[in-house]
Structure 1
Amino acid sequence: MGAATIMLNGSGGAAQDPTRALAVATGACERGNSVGCLIAAVVHDKGLGVAVDPAATTAFIDKACALGDAQGCQAKAARAPRSPAFIAKANLTVGSIAADGLELRDLMCGVMGGMPMLGALVIAGSLAKQRRALDKCAPAGQAFAATWTFAGGKTRDVAASGGSPAANACVEKALARTVATLDGRCGAIVLVGKLAGAEATVEAVRSGAAN
């Protein structure tokens, strides 16, 4: 690993050779050396002598963590996608829920009254009644980060992001027609249109909402 580091940095009078450093580090990683995994991750992450490769970077970091390397596990945690904190004081959180063909991710609400988990089913079912209108906003599939307020049987203060301005406005209009059966403030990632296309955009929308 000392030799790989020297080759990577070109220190100690040695010529910089990231390609050879990667070969040495990868071999060490395959033999169970977590430091080799981390060096290989850096090479792929920075594009040192190779093309930037996020997938390879993640794989090497994951292996370093699996080998018990604390730095590798810290890097893995830092790279993990964060769920957006839509609601500051949520008493209902569900990672994934579906109702009548409508898929929601990271649903969280601050709902009034008891039985918050039953509330998740009620909320998903209420939004699902607008599924056809929502699907028209992005037929090919798109995830949207949305927030809204249920109050007095109506849905207010709707905001959506993740798509084009026109698509966002379309989602807001559709969600605003939801008949509220409870009171509270909610947020979720709403999958619209073809499921495969929508799922392909979830992580980007989740990251954008989290930031």
Structure 2
Amino acid sequence: STASLIVGVAAAAATQNDVLLAGVAGLVAGAMSMAAGEYVSVSSQSDTEQADLARERRELGEKPEAELEELAAIYARRGVDPVVAREVARQLMAKDALTAHARDELGISEITTARPIQAALTSAATFAVGAAMPLLMVLVSPPGVLVAVVSAASLGFLALLGAIGARAGGAHVLRATARVTFWGALAMALTAGIGKIFGTVV
């Protein structure tokens, strides 16, 4: 998005300083927007987890035997012998009943629990790193070829990220690379067109 913003502003015949300012503003706004969205989303997940844990804690206090049978049934469905499953459930509940039910019934553990602040910071940092590349291109590009340099570098970076993501996920590398590059090129072409049409900083 920052690369598209830079290309759109540059296409409007703005000065290099104007383009750089727009890019920095886009980086800050984008990073904050990503952080805010991630924080709200993960906070909602955290609220749901806390409500589930509160309900589970209440049920453990009111009907511990039923909760024991429920946990044993979970292990039995996973292939554990029913007698062994009940003994495992009994021992785990004797040690920490809420943790056992949170992990195996609700799918909540220390590793998977929602952390809104950590998620927000990670999202903001990831966006900022990606947005820094086109800004660097603005700094090193001659004004006359700024749009071409930023576009080429950004598309190359997108293609690299698409290939890495596809390889990591076991997907078709060429197809994934082509897809992300196409949509990146389309976004930059549209914003460049808007800049040309209006002939002003947008």
TM-score by length of 2: 0.28
- When Rg is computed on C-alpha atoms for both structures, the one with the higher figure is 2
**Structure having the larger proportion of residues in helix:** 2
Identify which of structures 1 and 2 has the higher relative contact order when contacts are C-alpha pairs closer than 8 Å and 6+ apart: 2
Structure with bigger strand share is 1
